[in-house]
A and B are shown apart, each in its own frame.
Chain A
Amino acid sequence: MFGFLRFLVIGLVVLTGLYGLLWIYVRSLTRERLENKWVEEGSIGDRDVYVEEGMRSYEQSFRPKLLLLVYILPLIAFLAIFYVTNFM
């Protein structure tokens, strides 16, 4: 049982670290894209307002929730390995 707890804790810590990294990364990419889009559209209005508005609509969209795949995919991989090793 101790082994299982250790596996669970290490897994959660590693995946949460990865989730945080990807969270920052995708936000940074979105911000960069919005900045470029603002220039493409002719630099109309205040740049910061445009970018913040775009970030808010990004936060409300489905895309940030895709980051939860960081937890879901390893879980699926674990279940698949567990099944193949022990029950196939």
Chain B
Amino acid sequence: MKTFLWLVKREYWENRGGFLWAPVITGSVFLLLNLMGIIAAEVIGARHGISFGASGELRNVMSQMDAGDMSKVGLALDVAMYSSMAIITVVLGFVVFFYCLGALYDDRRDRSILFWKSLPISDTSTVLSKVVSATVLAPAIAVVVGIVAGMAQLVMAAVTLSFHGINVWQLLTLAHPFRVMGNLLGYIPVYVLWALPSAGWLLLCSAWARTKPFLWAVVLPVATGLLITWFGIMGLFDLPASWFWKEIVVRGLFSVFPGGSFTATQGSPHTLSITGESGMDVLNVSHSWAAMGTLNLWIGVAAGIGLIAAAIWFRRWRDDS
């Protein structure tokens, strides 16, 4: 266990840039752009004499709101908080994707694998430490960064509104920062399971490819998909092309991008939506966890375990450094 924690720590040392700095920088840039936008709006507003707050209109609007309207304000603030997470999420997807592709390839290319293999560490632990780094450590760091950025975003929005005569504290009580945090953290287990087939496929390519793991990882499924579509166009074999594209190509390659699990529950009452009745609590754990009840997720988990086992085998026996 101690060895395993150090293996994960080692991954963090090596990939601090992707795991920590990428989300931090993304969050900072996002906040900065927001701040610039707010300032620009204020300046333009002041120059053109458009003023919401000074005459107390906005305050009047607020005081006339009923409970439903108030909860919509809360929702808007929650969404503001999620928005920073959303952009960090996209970056996280890229980080995890390329991390997995390089995790078992880069050290073969620069031959440092010979150093790692000189230590009494099993290849199973090595590969699993990389799976955990990709699917648990990286998203956990991103969520923490996202929460910090989200809080900053929330405060920024509230303070701006307070310039227009609205009480900051009243606004903040309308938002649900803790619920948002809980929802984000609660999504991680779903992400781990959902991302497993992708992580497994990418790690397998990383462990197997002698050169260019990216090309193999992408070209193999895409070429197969094209072939199936091609047969489909000619009316031969009648293979389910659209199923293949969605469930194999997209699922296999892009499940490391967070949020994909919501496609599994599409059409059910758990569909991700911000406007629905229950949408007052976006990304509620009960919605995101609904994916756990789908066959899609568990088939993916099984496939992921198989792919990871294959990656371990190649890690053990690939002899090219």
**Is B truly associated with A?**
no
- Residues of chain A touching chain B, judged by Cβ–Cβ distance below 8 Å, are none
